[in-house]
Structures are given as C-alpha cells and as structure tokens.
C-alpha cells in the first residue's frame, strides 16, 4: 500500500502578515516556512500507520506544488519520516491550480491513500482536496478525524455537521483531515535529519492549467478601538453593557 | 443572473447561514434566486423561508445520508441543475457541508471558487470580492477569471434581512448513493448547538485552572443561551471535548458574542475568533494579548468574575 501526503508550504502560524510596498503582494522576506499544520498532522498519522502495520505500507510520498523555496519544508517532511518527496515546480495562485497539478501527478503515480488538509494557513482555500477528488476521480472523505487499517480495509472516523461516524471504506481514497487525525506532530530527530539528506526529492515540471482566481490587492484589517474596560468589582456591569450597549444578549 | 443557494437541514431546521446566503444573493443587482433546501423540515421553517427568499426555493424533502456522501450531494445538485438550468452564481452559507460541496460545484460549472468571502462583490464583471486570507490576518481582494462564480461566505458577514415573498415548493429527485461505504457506528455529540452556528460562545483557556472549575462557565453559557468552547491546550489536556477547540487548528467561529475566560489570546487562537462581532476578555493579566482583540475587558480572576456574571445574566432573564 502506498500513502501520499499533500503538503502545503506556509508561513509559520505566528508570522505577522504584511504587504510589500506595492500593497499587492505579501512581504515574504524573513518568513519562516513550515508544513501546513494539518499536513504535518496528516504526515504524522501516515507514519504512525506505517509503524503500526508492519510490512503493509510500502512507502509514504510527500507531494508539494511550490517554487524551489518549498524544498526546505519537503526536507523537513523527509526528516520526520516520509520516504520520498515530489515537488511540482509551480507557484499556484489558487486551490484549483494546486489541485490540477496534484491530479495530474496522481493520474500518473497512483496512491491508495491520499491525505489532504482541511485548510491551508495561507490561502485558506479549503478547496484543494475536494477539487483533487473530482479531477482525479477518487472518492473524497471529508472531515476525517481518524484513520486505521484493518485487513485491507480502511476505517475512517468522520466528524461533520455535528455527527461523528465510523466508516469502513476501501482505497483508493482522498482523506481530508481535520482535528483529531493525530495529536502531537512528529518532529525530526537527529537521525531523521541525517537520513533526509539522502532520501530522493524529485522535481517535476508543471502542467500549468492556469488559476481561476487571482489576488489583485491586499487590505489590512480595519483598526479596532481599544477595549472598554470594566472593573473587576463591578463585573455585573458587563452583562448590562452587553445587553444595552452592544445589544448582543 | 441566476443565483443558486443551497443548504442541508439539521434537526428539521434550516441553519442561519442559509438566510445569510439568501440575503447576499438577493442583494445583488439583477439576481434571481433559485434555492434548494435538502432534508426534512418543520412547518414553521417554511414560512420563515418565504420571508427571506426573493425568487424560488425548492424543498427536497427526504432523509439525507447518514455519512457525508459527496457523491450523493453532487448528484442531487446536478439533477437540480439539469432540470432548472445552470446558475451563473452560487452563494453558499458557511457550513461544513457547503465547504466540501462548494469546490466541487465550482468544478462542475467551470466557475471560480472563493471561500471565506466577507463582502458583497466589489464588481460583477469580472467578479471581485474581498475575503480573509492567512487565517484572518489580512483581507485579500480576489478577481475571478471565469464568468461564473461560487462563493462560500464567512459566517456572520451580514445580517439576514427579509427581502419579501419567496416562492416555496417541493422538488423531488431520484437520489443516487455512493457505493462501497459501510457505516459501522454513528454518534451524536452531546452539544445541541453547532459551535460554528452558535450566536453566543463562552470559552475557557488554561487560566480556568482545570476541568473541575468549568461549572460557572457552563452556567453562564446556559444563562445566555450560548455554547461552550475552549482553547487548544484545554482540549489537548482532555479538560474539554475536542469539538470545543477553537482556533486556527480547531473550529473557526463567528458568533455575535465571544467571551474568552482565562485565554491569553495567542495568534492561533485569534485566527479562529476574529469574525466574532463582540469579543469579551476576562484575564488576570492586563498585558494579555486577548485585550488587543477584545471590545470589552475585565482584568480579574475568572473564578471570582464568572459567578457574578452568571448571577447577572440570570437576572436579565
Ligand atoms: C501550529 C499551531 C496551531 C495552534 N492552534 C491553536 C488553536 O487552534 N487554538 C488555540 O487556542 N491555540 C492554538 N495554538 C496554541 C497557542 O499558540 C497557545 O498556546 C494557546 O492558545 C494558549 O492557550 P490558553 O490561552 O488557554 O493558555 P495560556 O496561554 O497559558 O493562557 C492562560 C491565560 O489565562 C490567564 N489566567 C491564569 N489564571 C487566571 C485566572 N485565575 N483568572 C483569569 N485569567 C487567568 C493568564 O493570564 C493567561 O493569559 C496553536 C499553536 C501552534 C504552534
Ligand atoms: N501547493 C500545494 N501543494 C500540495 N498540497 C497542497 C497545496 N496547496 C494545498 N494543498 C493541500 O490542500 C490542503 C488544503 O489547502 P487549501 O485548499 O489551500 O486550503 C492542504 O492542507 C494541502 O494538503
């Protein structure tokens, strides 16, 4: 069985996002790049599955559509435990473009389980997995909070719309992961970092379908007035203010 | 311009996000709404919908699949388009189901897709809208290269307004189910309200000290008719259930009122609450970053403040 994890390369979650002088691009200087938190958890789960089901999983491939600066993040994924990395050399402008590249890749190099994250921390497109599924013709499992292997079948935990389910499905599947898929992300150990240096990282040329959407400008969030403070000894006032002034209760 | 709006029902009710989407669609010039509501409904909901609709609302009155069968929903919507014609614009209210369907409908229609939309279109040809990006840290203006568009709205970006008399009628289709999935177990979580739809949320962080101190927080939520939530370490520690976790890696919420109790206000937490209309912070540290995001604040001990708030909230009723 082969597992693929789609990895989005995103600015560290604590990064203050600001635009460059033109106001039309994000200033990426000094940004520290990380694996999108969901993808990091998906990768963690993939590695756990490989460890728990000895001999069942032949390899874990991580796939990223990104310019060359994405490679440091891919190396990190290798250091954490992926066996092989693929970078498709394109800088996608929207989820469609990313999904299209991924679909072309998987048409050529199928995998049994393909992990995607519920949302990337940069575009927040929350679309790539669902689009990939239609483009590649592979069943989509949204809201995946757990995955287990049992006798050739995949047991998927799905949490969606206030329901929590346990399902038995057979691969191939696209698993769109969310909270619960793994709890603590794996971090690279020294041995992993050494091993990552010799693991294969292949660069593929893109198909370039072209994006459907394009960012034409950025705007900062509207400034917020300072909070109105209420004395601790007068806490009951808060309820009154929320009722009469803010009118939210 | 034909504008399609879709929702599923839950507990025989239509979520508020549907009315937001109807209002959005109905506010656009030259927009004629055709909406589809899938799932069982209570009687009073039908009258409610007629008030918000401007155009036609169709009701597919059948029980929905137990699991999230994307094949089923896509097939349903495709049948609807086959019969009623393809729309030019699709407006989807914020729901977990629409979040999955939106991108797939966009592909079917060769339309551009934009999630987390926070404004009415700045322009219609080509489509231009504002949306959140980088987990709510910045707003981007997105332009579509396609003629058609699918917008997934952020929750609470506009208040539903009654647009007039909509037409409401039944619509039926032969549903097709995705094969090869066996449901082993179904559980409904304890909470009745979906966090993503709650109007009022009372949320606790590590400053609550431990799970045994949650009672006043729950009482406040109850007195205000709201839901309870928490920060990530609180759910990681198992003090509270996972589905209560709010933030970048939890749920993104947009209530009218978010009360943060003993939450420091880390950037990843704020990423999940920035769409809230009013944020209240209760924290003993006046320097806590949560106060930067808050509209009202109390510097104090949650254990002292919460019981007072519960009292006052109960009196209000
Ligand atoms: C990739 C990544 C993703 C993350 N995603 C999320 C996420 O989705 N959601 C999330 O919440 N976090 C997330 N985090 C964690 C985040 O960085 C913070 O660590 C977390 O939000 C802190 O939780 P807290 O505010 O409950 O605890 P703390 O930061 O420990 O804050 C506790 C607060 O309580 C106050 N306090 C203590 N005692 C009292 C008292 N008696 N009365 C009043 N106030 C008191 C303290 O002054 C302090 O401000 C993420 C982190 C990373 C790296
Ligand atoms: N450029 C990319 N390369 C590989 N995977 C991606 C890329 N962009 C998005 N993904 C995957 O799609 C998920 C959702 O991304 P998005 O649609 O941007 O919110 C991510 O968690 C990744 O798993």
Is B166 found in the same domain as B32? yes
The CATH number linked to B259 is 3.40.50.1220
The CATH number linked to B164 is 3.40.50.620
Res B191: pLDDT: 67
Please indicate, yes or no, if residue B98 is contained in any of the structural domains: yes
Q: Do B183 and A165 touch (CB under 8 A)?
A: yes
Q: What digits encode the pLDDT tens for the residues B58-83?
A: 999 999 998 889 999 999 999 999 99
CA distance B301 to B142: 44
Q: Is the pLDDT of residue B43 over 90?
A: no
Mean pLDDT rounded to a whole number for chain B? 93
Q: Do A215 and B107 touch (CB under 8 A)?
A: no
Q: Do B143 and A130 touch (CB under 8 A)?
A: no
Res B175: pLDDT: 85
* Chain B residues touching A140 at Cβ < 8 A: 70, 100
Res A233: pLDDT: 97
Q: Are A13 and A120 in contact (CB under 8 A)?
A: no
CA of B97 to the centre of ligand 2 (A): 19
Is B105 found in the same domain as B233? no
Token pair belonging to A62? 């991580």
pTM for the model stands at 0.95
Residue B126 preceded by cis peptide, ω within 30: yes
Is B159 found in the same domain as B16? yes
CA of A82 to the centre of ligand 2 (A): 17
Tell which residue, B225, B202, B198, has the closest CA to residue B215: B202
CA of B267 to the centre of ligand 1 (A): 9
Q: What digits encode the pLDDT tens for the residues A18-56?
A: 998 888 889 988 899 999 999 999 999 999 999 999 999
Q: Is the pLDDT of residue B179 over 90?
A: no
Say whether residue A208 is in contact with chain B using an 8 A CB cutoff.
no
Q: How many domains does chain B have?
A: 2
The answer for B 127-166 residues in CB contact with A (under 8 A) is 128, 130, 132-146, 152
Is B26 found in the same domain as B164? yes
Q: Last residue of a domain, which of B154, B170, B186?
A: B170
Q: What digits encode the pLDDT tens for the residues B233-249?
A: 999 999 999 899 999 99
Q: Do B111 and A218 touch (CB under 8 A)?
A: no
Is B219 found in the same domain as B105? no
Size of interface A-B (CB pairs under 8 A): 264
Please indicate, yes or no, if residue B125 is contained in any of the structural domains: yes
- Residue B204 structural domain: 200-316
Res B66: pLDDT: 86
What Cα–Cα distance (Å) separates residue A207 from each residue in A101, A102, A105, A131?
A: 6, 10, 9, 16
Q: Do B186 and A123 touch (CB under 8 A)?
A: no
Counting ligands in written order, which one lies closest to the CA of residue B232?
1
CA distance A181 to A247: 39
Please indicate, yes or no, if residue B180 is contained in any of the structural domains: no
Please indicate, yes or no, if residue B71 is contained in any of the structural domains: yes
Please indicate, yes or no, if residue B127 is contained in any of the structural domains: yes
Report residue B190's pLDDT band, with 50, 70 and 90 as the boundaries: low
Rounded to the nearest angstrom, the gap between the alpha carbon of residue B245 and the centroid of all alpha carbons in its chain is 15
Q: What digits encode the pLDDT tens for the residues B27-42?
A: 999 999 999 999 999 9
The complex's ipTM?
0.95
Q: Last residue of a domain, which of B121, B153, B170?
A: B170
Is B311 found in the same domain as B235? yes
Q: What digits encode the pLDDT tens for the residues A107-150?
A: 999 999 999 999 999 989 899 999 999 999 999 999 999 999 99
* Residues in Cβ contact with B11 at an 8 Å cutoff, skipping those fewer than 6 apart: none
- Whether residue B251 has its Cβ less than 6 Å from ligand 1: no
Please indicate, yes or no, if residue B24 is contained in any of the structural domains: yes
CA distance B115 to A126: 7
Please indicate, yes or no, if residue B193 is contained in any of the structural domains: no
* Chain B residues touching A211 at Cβ < 8 A: 145
Domains of chain A listed by start with CATH number: 2-219 (3.40.50.620)
CA of B76 to the centre of ligand 2 (A): 27
């Amino acid at each position: 069985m082969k597992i693929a994890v789609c990895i989005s390369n995103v600015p560290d979650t604590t990064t203050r996002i600001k635009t460059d002088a033109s106001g039309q691009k994000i200033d990426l200087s000094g940004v520290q790049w990380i694996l999108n938190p969901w993808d990091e958890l998906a990768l963690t789960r993939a590695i756990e599955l490989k460890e728990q089901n000895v001999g069942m999983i032949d390899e874990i491939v991580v796939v990223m559509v990104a310019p060359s600066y994405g490679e440091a993040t891919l190396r990190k994924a290798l250091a954490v435990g992926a066996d092989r990395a693929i970078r498709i050399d394109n800088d996608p402008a929207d989820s469609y473009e990313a999904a299209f590249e991924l679909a072309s890749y998987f048409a050529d190099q199928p995998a049994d389980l393909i992990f995607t994250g519920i949302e990337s921390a940069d575009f927040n497109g929350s679309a790539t997995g669902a689009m990939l599924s239609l483009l590649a013709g592979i069943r989509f499992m949204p809201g995946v909070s757990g995955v287990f292997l049992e006798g050739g079948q995949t047991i998927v935990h799905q949490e969606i719309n206030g329901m929590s389910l346990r399902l038995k499905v057979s691969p191939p599947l696209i698993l769109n992961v969310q909270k619960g898929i793994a709890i603590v992300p794996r971090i690279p150990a020294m041995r992993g970092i050494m091993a990552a240096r010799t693991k294969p990282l292949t660069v593929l040329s893109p198909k370039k379908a072209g994006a459907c959407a394009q960012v034409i400008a950025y705007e900062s969030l509207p400034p917020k007035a300072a909070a109105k403070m209420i004395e601790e000894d007068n806490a009951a006032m808060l309820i009154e203010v929320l009722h009469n002034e803010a009118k939210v209760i | 311009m034909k504008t399609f709006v879709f929702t599923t029902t839950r507990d025989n009710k239509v979520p508020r996000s549907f009315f937001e989407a109807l209002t959005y669609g109905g506010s656009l010039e030259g927009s004629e709404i055709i909406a589809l509501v899938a799932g069982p409904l209570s009687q009073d909901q039908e009258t409610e919908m007629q008030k918000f609709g401007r155009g036609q609302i169709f009701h597919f009155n059948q029980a929905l699949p137990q699991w999230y069968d994307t094949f089923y929903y896509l097939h349903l919507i495709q049948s609807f388009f086959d019969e009623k014609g393809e729309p030019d614009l699709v407006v989807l209210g914020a729901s977990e189901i629409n979040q999955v369907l939106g991108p797939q409908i966009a592909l079917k229609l060769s339309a551009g897709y934009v999630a987390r939309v926070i404004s009415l279109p700045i322009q219609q040809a080509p489509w231009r809208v504002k949306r959140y990006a980088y987990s709510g840290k910045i707003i981007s203006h997105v332009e579509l290269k396609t003629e058609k568009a699918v917008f997934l709205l952020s929750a609470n970006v506009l208040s539903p307004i009654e647009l007039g008399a909509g037409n409401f009628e039944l619509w039926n289709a032969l549903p097709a189910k995705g094969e090869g999935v066996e449901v082993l177990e179904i559980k409904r979580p304890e909470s009745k309200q979906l966090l993503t739809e709650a109007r009022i949320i009372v949320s606790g962080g590590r400053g609550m000290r431990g799970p045994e101190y949650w009672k006043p927080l729950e009482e406040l939520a109850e007195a205000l008719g709201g839901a309870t939530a928490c920060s990530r370490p609180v759910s990681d520690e198992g003090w509270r259930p996972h589905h209560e976790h709010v933030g970048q890696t939890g749920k993104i919420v947009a209530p009218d009122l978010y009360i943060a109790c003993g939450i420091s206000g880390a950037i990843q937490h704020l990423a999940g609450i920035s769409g809230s209309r009013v944020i209240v912070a209760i924290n003993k540290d006046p320097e806590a970053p949560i106060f930067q995001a808050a509209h009202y604040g109390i510097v104090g001990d949650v254990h002292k403040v919460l019981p007072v708030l519960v009292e006052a909230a109960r009196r209000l009723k």
